[in-house]
Structure formats: structure tokens, C-alpha cells
């Protein structure tokens, strides 16, 4: 009696111990426990073929549609389908309890084939392993990858926006320097040339404030060398202070011209891809006056210059003078004729009879050559004042000239503060002369090619800005596309997880029945799900 009680106690104790089966080795466990055979896969093919044929002829039922969606159909689905068919095919049942419906017969046959040698259990275990090991992790990795791709697209969009803002800032700053809006670049650049005289007038007004600096420089050089220079130290600065921004002709020859004809600078404001309607080439040069090239008659081989020049019979030109052979060699021409005797009146010392043309017609600050000379003399004046400040501040310098020994009052009363003030005034004018906008406008006026280069640079920045905008928009579109793909996978993953949990529960219950309802736990699935 005691032995029986001990055996029953041990049996009850064993019943309380759950059966733990690793989900990854479930199929091996079933084969090793002889619940399934090793060649189960070869028999499943016939069952799958029969299932595919049976599915083609199914009644319209919402439970059947829901049952067949989202996962691979298995034995447990087939049992539920049979239960549903018992309701839909109830009218085909005969007196012996058998169904006359071919649908019911097909699915009952599938159930019998599944239950032979527990083929259904092997297939269910295989499905569970595939879902746990491959399907579910695969969906999760794909969703994570899409989320990471979306983050990468966001970073690229941020970079493109940053580049766009940087290029836009550069474009706006350059347009601000040039004083244009950046819509019609060439036209706006050409219109800004009229601002040049305003800049020159401003510089001339500031030059009047450094007259004492020029005098101080000349006095210092004169004291140092013991004699004054013939033209002074900075003759152009002194001239501009006294005369203002006159023409280069007046600066060169010392008198105002009778007439002024500035060069005709032409800037092509048309788009580069548009051709000239007349197919003419503009070299940026003024038109040649006095000769009409459109009315030249070349039929007779002669050119009419519009004058009184005539050809004699001998082919020689009659210049209206006396022939050389009519005058003795020693008395041919007397070159010792005074201007009064010849009756010639000189109206101007300048070239071309007092007519300023070409670069001579430009103002001193507008002429590239004299402009460079003007800037160089400002640098010279700045360097001189910096040296004077250095000598004032360096008390241990034995080579420093003692200003009190100089007889000129302007030199004796010069201090560190006054020298610094003079240096500041010169540097202000120098900064105005080297102003970025002024340099651009000056180059635009005197170099049509510079306009093309500058406009091309601005247009290139506009193209890059547009390109960055397009790339940023492309990244936003890709983000939305990637997000939609991830959102489409999430419901599928949720459904597969749900079906896997149901399959896990069904396998555990089925194995539990084979072991007198002992609890069965499939391990290694929680982390995956």
C-alpha cells in the first residue's frame, strides 16, 4: 500500500513539472520522441497540393476569409474550416451523418492525411521555427533598416539645406556689395555704373581733410634730403586736393580740354544663349568716325575718301605743292621759319588739338592707370605715417630724428596723437578707394568681359542654390516613401506575430495531450515576439 502511494505521489509530482522544449529544436525533439518521422516533408507535398485545389472552391464566409489571410495555412486552420463547413454544408448531411458536399469531403480527406504519422505536428513545428527564426526577425530588421534610411535621408536633407543657406548667404552678400537685387544680373550691373561719380566725389571730399598730411610728408622729405623734390612726394594726391577729380587730359597737360569724348563702353545685357539679331560682333570699341564703310565703292578698284585728292596721269598723287625737281636742291625747303612768320596759331598744348579722347577723357580716379597711381601714393603716405609712429613710440631708438631740431613748425608740433589722427584719415580714404563695390563697378565699366565673369559667377550660385533645393526636396520625398514602406510592413509583422502565437499555443496544447495534459512550454520565443 505504501509503495502504491509513493508511486502515485511521484506520478503527481511529475505531472506538475512542465515540459520545456526549445522552439529552435522542436522538430528534432518530435522526431527523437518518435512523434514524427524524418521523411515527413515528402508526404506534405501531396497535402499542400490537395489544399490548393480545395481552396479554389470555398463558400463566401467572413471567418474563412479572415482565417486564410496573413499566414501559411496549416492543419489547425483546416480543422477550423471543417467546423465552419459543418454550418454552411449542413443541408448536404444524410441520415448516416455523412456529408454529400464535395467541399466537406475534400477537407475531411486533408485532415485524415495530416493526422497520419502526425504530419501536421511536424509541419506546424517547421512553420513555427521558420516564423521565429526568419520571418519575424526579417520583418523587424527590414523595418529598422527603413527607419535608419529615413534618419540618413533627414541628415542629408539637413546638409543640403545648410549648403543652400550658405550659398544663398554668399549670393545675397555679393549682390549687396554690388547693390543689385540679383534678378536681371547683367542689366542691374550695367545700371550701377552711374554710381561711380558719387564714390569719386566722396573720396575727393575726404582728400581735402589730409592736405596737412601731404604738407607734413613733403616738409619731412625736404628736411631729410636738404632739398625739395621737383614734383613733390605724392603729386597726384596734391593735384586732386587742389584741382579735384579732373580729366586725365588736364592732369597730364596742365590745361582743360576743349572737348571731351569718353570711350563708348558697351555691355551686352542679353542672355548668353541668345544670338545677336544682326550677327554683328561687338568688340567693345568706339565707332570709327569720318569713314562710312558701308558706302565704299570697290568696283573700280578705287576708294573715295571724301577729299580733294586726285591722281595724275602718271599715277602720282597731287598734294597741291611744288614738285621737288622745280626747286634747286640747296634752296628746296627752308625749315628755319618761326611760328609768327608762318601764321600758325597754337590753340592747345595737348594732343589732338585740345580734344580729350580715349583714356585721356576719363577722370583721374576713373582712369585705371591714374587710379592705381592714386592708391599707391595713399599706401606710400600710410607707410610714412606708420614709420613716424614707430619712431615716436620707440624711445630707445637712437636713430630717431628729433622733431624739435626741425625748423618747420608743422614738424616741431607733431606728436603721437596728431600722427595717429593723420594715419586714421589716410586709412579711411584708402578703405574707400579699395571698397569692394567700387572695385567691382570700376572693373565692370572698363571690362565687358568682367561683367560676363561676374554674372556667370552669380548665376552659377543661383544654379547651385536651386540644385540644393531640389536635392533637399528629393530627400524629403524619399523620407516619405521610406516611412510609408515601414508603415506598410508593421501591420504585416503584427499579423505574423499574432498567428505565430496562436500556432505556438496550438502546438503546446497538442503535445500536452500526448503527455496526459502536462504543461508544455516552448522556450526561446518571447524575445523574438
Tally Cβ neighbours within 10 Å of residue 5: 9
366, 414 Cβ separation under 8 angstroms: no
pLDDT band, very low/low/confident/very high, at 84 (cuts 50, 70, 90): confident
Query: Could you report the per-residue pLDDT of 313-371, keeping only the tens digit for each?
Result: 444 444 344 344 433 444 434 434 343 333 333 333 344 557 888 888 899 999 999 99
Give the pLDDT score at 318.
44
**Most confident stretch, 45-54, 160-169, 288-297, 440-449:** 160-169
Question: Collapsing DSSP states into helix, strand and coil, what is residue 318?
Answer: strand
CA distance 337 to 341: 6
Flag whether pLDDT at 312 surpasses 70.
no
Flag whether pLDDT at 491 surpasses 90.
yes
Determine which helix (DSSP H) or strand (DSSP E) holds 523, and give its type and residue range.
strand 520-523
Query: Could you report the per-residue pLDDT of 107-148, keeping only the tens digit for each?
Result: 889 999 999 999 999 999 999 999 999 999 999 999 999 999
Flag whether pLDDT at 510 surpasses 90.
yes
Give the pLDDT score at 269.
65
Read off the pLDDT of each residue in 458-466 and give the average, rounded to a whole number: 93
CA distance 138 to 144: 10
Query: Could you report the per-residue pLDDT of 155-184, keeping only the tens digit for each?
Result: 999 999 999 999 999 999 988 888 888 888
pLDDT band, very low/low/confident/very high, at 296 (cuts 50, 70, 90): very low
Q: Of all residues in the chain, what percent carry a pLDDT higher than 70?
A: 74
Selection from 272, 266, 216 nearest residue 426 by Cα: 216
Read off the pLDDT of each residue in 43-58 and give the average, rounded to a whole number: 87
Q: DSSP character for 169?
A: H
Tally Cβ neighbours within 10 Å of residue 446: 18
Lowest mean pLDDT of 71-85, 198-212, 347-361, 496-510, name the range.
347-361
Read off the pLDDT of each residue in 218-239 and give the average, rounded to a whole number: 79
Flag whether pLDDT at 384 surpasses 70.
yes
pLDDT band, very low/low/confident/very high, at 69 (cuts 50, 70, 90): low
Give the pLDDT score at 349.
39
Read off the pLDDT of each residue in 81-109 and give the average, rounded to a whole number: 79
Give the pLDDT score at 413.
59
Determine which helix (DSSP H) or strand (DSSP E) holds 231, and give its type and residue range.
none
Strands 520-523 and 19-22, by their bridges, are: parallel
Task: Report the mean per-residue pLDDT for the chain.
Answer: 78
CA distance 430 to 380: 11
pLDDT band, very low/low/confident/very high, at 191 (cuts 50, 70, 90): confident
Q: What is the DSSP string of 433-455?
A: HT-HHHHHHHHHHH-HHHHHHHH
Give the pLDDT score at 17.
86
Lowest mean pLDDT of 88-97, 242-251, 360-369, name the range.
88-97
Give whole-number Cα distances, 312 to 125, 316, 322, 325, 376, in Å. 125, 5, 14, 17, 58
Give the pLDDT score at 445.
87
pTM here is 0.61
Give the pLDDT score at 228.
66
Amino acid at each position: 500500500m505504501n509503495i502504491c502511494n509513493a508511486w502515485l505521489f511521484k506520478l503527481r509530482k511529475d505531472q506538475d513539472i512542465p515540459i520545456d522544449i526549445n522552439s529552435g529544436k522542436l522538430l528534432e525533439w518530435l522526431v527523437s520522441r518518435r512523434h514524427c518521422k524524418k521523411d515527413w516533408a515528402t508526404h506534405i507535398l501531396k497535402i499542400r497540393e490537395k489544399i490548393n485545389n480545395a481552396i479554389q472552391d470555398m463558400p463566401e464566409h467572413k471567418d474563412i476569409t479572415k482565417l486564410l489571410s496573413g499566414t501559411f495555412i496549416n492543419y489547425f486552420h483546416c480543422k477550423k474550416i471543417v467546423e465552419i463547413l459543418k454550418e454552411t454544408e449542413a443541408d448536404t448531411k444524410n441520415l448516416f451523418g455523412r456529408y454529400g458536399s464535395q467541399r466537406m469531403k475534400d477537407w475531411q480527406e486533408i485532415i485524415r492525411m495530416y493526422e497520419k504519422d502526425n504530419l501536421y505536428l511536424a509541419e506546424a513545428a517547421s512553420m513555427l521555427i521558420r516564423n521565429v527564426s526568419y520571418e519575424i526577425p526579417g520583418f523587424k530588421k527590414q523595418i529598422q533598416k527603413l527607419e535608419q534610411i529615413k534618419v540618413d535621408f533627414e541628415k542629408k536633407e539637413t546638409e543640403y539645406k545648410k549648403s543652400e543657406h550658405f550659398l544663398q548667404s554668399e549670393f545675397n552678400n555679393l549682390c549687396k556689395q554690388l547693390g543689385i537685387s540679383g534678378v536681371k544680373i547683367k542689366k542691374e550691373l550695367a545700371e550701377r555704373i552711374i554710381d561711380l561719380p558719387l564714390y569719386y566725389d566722396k573720396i575727393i571730399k575726404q582728400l581735402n581733410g589730409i592736405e596737412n598730411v601731404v604738407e607734413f610728408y613733403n616738409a619731412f622729405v625736404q628736411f631729410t634730403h636738404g632739398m625739395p623734390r621737383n614734383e613733390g612726394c605724392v603729386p597726384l594726391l596734391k593735384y586732386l586736393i587742389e584741382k579735384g577729380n579732373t580729366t586725365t587730359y588736364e592732369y597730364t597737360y596742365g590745361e582743360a580740354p576743349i572737348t571731351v569724348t569718353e570711350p563708348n563702353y558697351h555691355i551686352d545685357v542679353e542672355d548668353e544663349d541668345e544670338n545677336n539679331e544682326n550677327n554683328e560682333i561687338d568688340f567693345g570699341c568706339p565707332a570709327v568716325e569720318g569713314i562710312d564703310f558701308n558706302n565704299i565703292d570697290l568696283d573700280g578698284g578705287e576708294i573715295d575718301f571724301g577729299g580733294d585728292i586726285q591722281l595724275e596721269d602718271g599715277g602720282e598723287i597731287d598734294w597741291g605743292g611744288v614738285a621737288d625737281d622745280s626747286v634747286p636742291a640747296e634752296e628746296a625747303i627752308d625749315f628755319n621759319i618761326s611760328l609768327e612768320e608762318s601764321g600758325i596759331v597754337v590753340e592747345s598744348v595737348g594732343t589732338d588739338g585740345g580734344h580729350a579722347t580715349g583714356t585721356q577723357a576719363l577722370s583721374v580716379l576713373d582712369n585705371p592707370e591714374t587710379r592705381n597711381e592714386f592708391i599707391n601714393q595713399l599706401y606710400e603716405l600710410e607707410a610714412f605715417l606708420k614709420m613716424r609712429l614707430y619712431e615716436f613710440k620707440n624711445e630707445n631708438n637712437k636713430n630717431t630724428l628729433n622733431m624739435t631740431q626741425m625748423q618747420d613748425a608743422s614738424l616741431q608740433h607733431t606728436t603721437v596723437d596728431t600722427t595717429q589722427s593723420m594715419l586714421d584719415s589716410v586709412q579711411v580714404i584708402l578703405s574707400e578707394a579699395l571698397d569692394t563695390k567700387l572695385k567691382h563697378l570700376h572693373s565692370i565699366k572698363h571690362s565687358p568681359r568682367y561683367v560676363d565673369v561676374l554674372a556667370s559667377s552669380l548665376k552659377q550660385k543661383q544654379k547651385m542654390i536651386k540644385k540644393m533645393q531640389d536635392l533637399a526636396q528629393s530627400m524629403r520625398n524619399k523620407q516619405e516613401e521610406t516611412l510609408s514602406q515601414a508603415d506598410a510592413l508593421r501591420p504585416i509583422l503584427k499579423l505574423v506575430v499574432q498567428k505565430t502565437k496562436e500556432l505556438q499555443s496550438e502546438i503546446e496544447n497538442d503535445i500536452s495531450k500526448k503527455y496526459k495534459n502536462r504543461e508544455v512550454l516552448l522556450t526561446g520565443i518571447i524575445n523574438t515576439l
